[in-house]
Amino acid sequence: MRKKIRLFIPVVLTLLVLLSGCSTKVPKYQAKKALGPQINYTITGIDAGAGIMASTQKALSAYGLAKDNWQLQTSSTAAMTSTLDKAIRHKQPIVITGWQPHWMFTKYPIKFLKDPKHVYGKSESIHTIVRKGLKQDQPTAYEMLDRFYWTPAEMSQVMIQVNNGKDPQKAAQQWLKANPKKVQQWTKGLKKVSGKPTLKLTYVAWDSEIASTNVVAEVLRGLGYKVTIQAMEMQPMWASIATNVADAQVAAWLPTTSAKFYSDYKGQFVDLGANLKGARVGLAVPKYMTNINSIEDLLKNK
């Protein structure tokens, strides 16, 4: 008897959890109804400091969405992608702040919304930004950083490994081992430095920047440097380069996403140009939201 009860309790509890889950479930996406009320006029965003959040605030006013009750919810990349995951499993409506390169576009069937007013810019590049004086102080590191350039597909290979749980440094080491031609391009003719000079790279812990920063750090270590990498918010990252506290960052999404910091710190850093071209930033929705293809489609009377 006792044994039976012991078995019974977990079964009942599981059923209760399942049932309560059913009753609170957000309905599936209803293509024939206005989208706003289905999701409380809410765009699911990421961390407050991100450029995509500032751009989305601009989009809210540029497209008249703010007047239409729309709001942007601050969270984090991890929280946003898990909310997206849940919505997609239940075919629920959702609007997120999305960008590429990122594994969200390979893992989930999502699409960018058209941005006819180009609030998010047409296309973004990721630039390498170094401190003033690095060229004189550490010409080898400067040269390598100046050459560093890869494609969204290459960056994604590292990002996916990290998303699958691999340690970022290990993922970077393995990628470099598998891509000797790239390493060759970035380091050809550069002599290993002696005396283990130190270098500090700063970054924001977005998946893309975790990948690129670790790859660059490993290459510089191979050239004889003692490299530390430090994650921080976007504003301190730009400040760290401007005040010579750090040597370089490879995380500047331009011309739109990091525009504020680029102009705030203008003249206090050296822009080595794009290390990746073809990045993209905007709003995104699951592909099953077939009626929603442009930011303008979020409006009530659309």
Strand bridging mode 270-286 / 124-130: antiparallel
Rounded least distance, CB 281 to ligand PBE, Å: 5
By the rule CB under 6 A, 238 interacts with ligand PBE: no
Span interacting with ligand PBE, options 17-25, 49-57, 240-248, 261-269, rule CB under 6 A:
49-57
Angstrom distance (rounded) from CA 238 to CA 258: 10
> Residues 63, 99, 150, 186: which binds ligand PBE (CB under 6 A)?
99
Is residue 278 within 8 A of residue 251, CB to CB? The reply is no
Which SS3 state, helix, strand or coil, does residue 248 take? strand
- By the rule CB under 6 A, 262 interacts with ligand PBE: no
Q: How far is Cα 21 from Cα 276, in angstroms, rounded to an integer?
A: 43
Smaller CB separation from ligand PBE, 46 or 171: 46
Q: Is 240 in the site for ligand PBE (CB under 6 A)?
A: no
Q: Residue 253 interacts with ligand PBE (CB under 6 A)? A: yes
Q: Dihedrals φ, ψ of 42, to 5°?
A: -115, 130
Q: How many of the chain's residues bind ligand PBE (CB under 6 A)?
A: 10
Rg of the chain in Å (alpha carbons): 23
Q: Among 2-10, 45-53, 177-185, 284-292, which window interacts with ligand PBE (CB under 6 A)?
A: 45-53
Q: Which is nearer to ligand PBE, 281 or 289 (CB)?
A: 281
Q: Does 51 bind ligand PBE (CB under 6 A)?
A: yes
Q: Does 237 bind ligand PBE (CB under 6 A)?
A: no
Alpha-carbon distance values, 181 to 17, 125, 142 (Å): 54, 23, 20
CB-nearer residue toward ligand PBE: 46 or 95 = 46
Q: Hey, is 201 helix, strand or coil?
A: strand
Note whether 50 binds ligand PBE by CB under 6 A. yes
**Are 143 and 272 within 8 A, CB to CB?**
no
> Is residue 105 near ligand PBE by the rule CB under 6 A?
no
Residue 213: which H helix or E strand, with range? helix 207-222
Per-residue H/E/C for 54-112? HHHHHHHHHCCCCCCCCEEECCCHHHHHHHHHHHHHCCCCCCEEEEECCCHHHHCCEEE
Q: Which is nearer to ligand PBE, 39 or 281 (CB)?
A: 281
Pick one of 56, 163, 187, 208: the residue that binds ligand PBE (CB under 6 A): 208
Binding part of the chain for ligand PBE, among 44-52, 66-74, 112-120, 292-300 by CB under 6 A, reads 44-52
281 binds ligand PBE (CB under 6 A): yes
Annotate each residue in 115-144 with x if it binds ligand PBE (CB under 6 A) or - if it does not, as one string.
------------------------------
Rule CB under 6 A: is residue 94 a binding residue for ligand PBE? no
CA–CA gap between residue 154 and residue 176 (Å, rounded): 11
CA atoms of 298 and 296, how far apart (whole Å): 5
Q: How many CA atoms lie within 13 A of 207 on its CB side?
A: 26
Which of 36/209 has CB closer to ligand PBE?
209
* Positions that interact with ligand PBE (CB under 6 A): 46, 50-52, 99, 206, 208, 253, 257, 281
